[in-house]
């Protein structure tokens, strides 16, 4: 049994959750916010989520978990069949996470706690996110998935990152910066038709709504 620890509005948690659903792996979700508590640091050395427990053995970092799943469950592969295709899927995944989600990360605090970034900080984040979206647009294949014909790591990441950044940038920067990716509306619609993604998005919205209700 695999236990998946984290929270349902984390893009990285959702990346792993979609992979588990796509592969048909039996797993249990455990609500676990990130923290520096000793028990959590024993399982995720930086106190980050998601992490998994695989028959009791902990494993952290979302991309490492994906790679483990590919090795352990090679059927229903989430990587293209060629070396170049696999490299592109991984490259797009990292572009989305390092250059789109990471510069948008400070906005999560504003959304959850209230307030807005000042004009200078907002513009700095807008430019950084827009540059990241431009890099993704440069490499995206739309064939029909982000890295080509195969639903891959790139799409797992996009399914987590794009809705989050769309919401954050529209609410706090005044522009949905994910629209810098040509055809993004059609791509997101196609993603949402995939049962694994539809379930994860529904769980994300429910968790976020519950959190905001408690905060309010």
For each of the domains in the chain, give its residue range(s) and CATH number, in order of start: 2-72 (3.40.30.10), 83-215 (1.20.1050.10)
In sequence order, what are the beta bridge partners of 53? 3, 58
Rounded-to-integer distance, Cα 154 and Cα 86, Å: 10
Mean pLDDT for all residues in the chain: 95
Indicate the Cα dihedral angle 164, 170, 173, 179, nearest 10°. Answer: 80
Report in angstroms the alpha-carbon separations of 136 from 27, 168, 195: 31, 18, 24
Whether pLDDT at 89 is above 80: yes
Confidence of residue 215 (pLDDT cuts 50, 70, 90): low
Alpha helices in the chain (DSSP H): 11-23, 38-41, 62-72, 83-96, 102-113, 119-139, 153-173, 184-192, 195-215
Confidence of residue 4 (pLDDT cuts 50, 70, 90): very high
User: Which pLDDT score is estimated for 115?
Assistant: 84
User: Which pLDDT score is estimated for 209?
Assistant: 81
Give 142's contacts (C-beta < 8 A, 6+ positions apart): 182, 183, 187
Whether pLDDT at 170 is above 80: yes
User: Which pLDDT score is estimated for 114?
Assistant: 79
User: Which pLDDT score is estimated for 168?
Assistant: 95
Whether pLDDT at 70 is above 70: yes
User: Which pLDDT score is estimated for 132?
Assistant: 98
| Burial class, 46, CB count within 10 angstroms (exposed 0-12 / middle 13-18 / buried 19+) | exposed
Mean pLDDT (whole number) for 171-175: 94
Indicate the Cα dihedral angle 157, 96, 4, 151, nearest 10°. Answer: 20
User: Which pLDDT score is estimated for 9?
Assistant: 87
pLDDT tens string 23-51:
999 999 999 999 999 999 999 999 999 99
Whether pLDDT at 216 is above 70: no
User: Which pLDDT score is estimated for 111?
Assistant: 80
pLDDT tens string 113-166:
778 999 999 999 999 999 999 999 999 998 899 999 999 999 999 999 999 999
* Full-model pTM: 0.95
C-beta separation of 154 from 92 below 8 A:
yes
């Amino acid at each position: 049994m695999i236990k998946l620890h984290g929270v349902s509005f984390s893009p990285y948690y959702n990346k792993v959750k979609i992979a588990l659903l796509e592969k048909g792996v039996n797993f249990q979700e455990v609500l676990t916010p990130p923290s520096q508590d000793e028990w959590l640091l024993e399982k995720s050395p930086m106190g980050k989520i998601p992490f998994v427990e695989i028959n009791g053995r902990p494993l952290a970092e979302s991309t490492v978990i994906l790679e483990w799943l590919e090795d352990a469950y090679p059927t229903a592969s989430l990587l293209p069949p060629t070396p170049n295709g696999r490299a592109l899927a991984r490259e797009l995944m990292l572009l989305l996470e390092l250059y789109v989600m990471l510069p948008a990360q400070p906005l999560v605090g504003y959304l959850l706690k209230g307030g807005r970034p000042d004009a200078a900080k907002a513009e700095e984040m807008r430019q950084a996110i827009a540059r990241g979206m431009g890099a993704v647009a440069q490499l995206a294949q739309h064939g029909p998935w982000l890295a080509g014909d195969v639903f891959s790591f790139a799409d797992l990441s996009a399914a987590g990152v794009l809705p989050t950044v769309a919401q954050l940038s529209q609410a706090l920067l005044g522009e949905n910066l994910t629209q810098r990716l040509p055809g993004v509306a059609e791509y997101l619609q196609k993603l949402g038709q995939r049962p694994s993604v539809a379930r994860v998005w529904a769980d994300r919205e429910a968790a976020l709504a519950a959190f905001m209700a408690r905060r309010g």
